[in-house]
Amino acid sequence: MYNFNYYTPTKVVFGKGTQAQVGALVKTQNCRKVLIHYGSGSVKRTGLLDQVKASLDQEQISYVELGGAVPNPRLSLVYKGIELAKKEGVDFILAVGGGSAIDSAKAIGYGVANEGDVWEFYDRKRQAEGCLPIGVVLTLAATGSEMSNSSVITNEDGWIKRGYSSDYGRPRFAIMNPELTMTLPDYQTACGCTDILMHTMERYFTSGGNMEITDSIAEGLMRTVIVNAKILKEDPKNYDARAEVMWAGSLSHNGLTGCGTDGGDFASHALEHEIGGLYDVAHGAGLAAIWGSWARYVYMDCLPRFRKFAVNVMGISEEGSDEEVALKGIEAMEAFYREIHMPTSLKELGIEPTEDELRLLAHKCSIACKGIKGSARILHEEDMYQIYRCSL
Ligand code: NZQ
Ligand code: ZN
């Protein structure tokens, strides 16, 4: 078991109708002017944006707005947001949407609070020394960005998708009304469930330091997401299932399921970020497409964990060798992905990279990871290439 810090300063306001509290929550932040930041229009279609504005108006809080954050949010919009926020004297950012709007808001917050080019944080050239305070009204359970310290931005110059993590970016509050996720297309709901699972799986498959309590929380979380993802496939308006998934999304990526370990593997995420950057696919679907190949490539180096996962999460019988049980667990996970209509290969994801593109993906991934990535097994550029190739 490793030493750890657990820091989750985000106030969570959870449940039906909670978006009505947004004005009062922003007011507690003592800010002068708010930037409301959102995506490509779902918040307008659902009426949520109007509700948020009405709540701010009620508290006499002034605001400006900037929409347009797309999945795999772009650096160009971040620059635009920084310029707008500086010009308008914004001192609080309210993200209304999914992970893309939240991540874009965090990047704008770093850009306003620090001199110089914000991309340098994502490019690992320097560390932020602050961030404008961020609040969130969440509309998609997936990334956990509403409580996490991470933000992932895509630079159109080279289509480079990079994450940056800093505790300055952790939101001050997150309003989570599961009802708001009922307007999601089924595909996005499934992508979200996959991402939530993966944030805990990344932390679970480690070779360094484990804790029984962390494992129990992680296994319970994964079982809960699997059960409720299946319910949502049949019954997308099921409030309780939406709520289970939404809360799991936050707990899966706020650090809880990694306490006491070496920080996790996160190779699948690194591999997916390159796919998302080059082909602009949905993050959760990209993870599902790559995971099986990653798992088969590394499982012998982390056999006890794969066996435990198979038995405790996927319900595989303990009969058979460790290797057999572990492989059955991997197969069961892939069967689950198929059941919720997630891809289990790049072809099913809708992309067919050429040999050169596979090499490029592996090269970019290795640069992003500074050469190596993983904990279940340490991956080098050639390993990354092999995993991409196996996932075709
Ligand atoms: O843009 P709008 O019009 O809002 O539509 C979005 C978008 O098309 C739509 N949507 C969201 N809520 C909706 C809705 N449609 C109807 N009803 C609603 N209630 O869903 C689509 C996807 O939204 P997006 O925000 O892109 O999805 P997600 O939350 O999955 O975020 C994905 C991004 O987050 C990054 C991913 O790489 C990707 O760029 N990640 C961020 C992390 C973090 N900050 O901690 C960790 C993750 O591992 C991940 O990398
Ligand atoms: Zn993710």
| Residue 282: predicted pLDDT | 97
**Shortest-distance Cα residue to atom 8 of ligand 1:** 71
| Residue 17: predicted pLDDT | 98
| Residue 208: predicted pLDDT | 87
Assign residue 37 a region: left if phi > 0, alpha if psi is -120 to 50, beta otherwise? beta
Residue in 143, 269, 342 to alter for ligand 1 test, most ligand atoms within 8 A of Cβ: 143
Phi first, then psi: what are they for 160, rounded to 5°? -105, 120
Q: Would you say the CB of residue 254 lies under 6 angstroms from ligand 1?
A: no
Residues that place a CB less than 5 A from ion ligand 2: 195
Whole-number Å distance between alpha carbons of 13 and 8: 14
Whole-number Å distance between alpha carbons of 310 and 324: 10
For the CA of 273, the closest atom of ligand 1 is 37
Q: From first to last of its 392 residues, what are the pLDDT tens digits of the chain?
A: 999 999 999 999 999 999 999 999 999 999 999 999 999 999 999 999 999 999 999 999 999 999 999 999 999 999 999 999 999 999 999 999 999 999 999 999 999 999 999 999 999 999 999 999 999 999 999 999 999 999 999 999 999 999 999 999 999 999 999 999 999 999 999 999 999 999 999 999 999 888 999 999 999 999 999 999 999 999 999 999 999 999 999 999 999 999 999 999 999 999 999 999 999 999 999 999 999 999 999 999 999 999 999 999 999 999 999 999 999 999 999 999 999 999 999 999 999 999 999 999 999 999 999 999 999 999 999 999 999 999 99
CA distances to 151, 182, 383 from 240, rounded to whole Å, are 28, 11, 41
**pTM of structure:** 0.98
- Non-local (6+) Cβ contacts of 60 within 8 A are none
CA distances to 83, 170, 195, 291, 330 from 342, rounded to whole Å, are 38, 30, 11, 11, 15
User: CB 65: neighbour CB atoms within 10 A?
Assistant: 15
C-beta of residue 95 within 8 angstroms of C-beta of residue 137: yes
Q: Would you say the CB of residue 375 lies under 6 angstroms from ligand 1?
A: no
| Residue 372: predicted pLDDT | 97
Q: Is 92 exposed, middle or buried (0-12, 13-18, 19+ CB in 10 A)?
A: buried
| Residue 210: predicted pLDDT | 87
For the CA of 69, the closest atom of ligand 1 is 1
Looking at all shown ligands, the one closest to residue 144's CA atom is 1
The amino acid occupying position 328 is K
Residue in 100, 199, 256, 274 to alter for ligand 1 test, most ligand atoms within 8 A of Cβ: 100
Chain-centroid distance of CA 334 in Å reads 20
| Residue 209: predicted pLDDT | 86
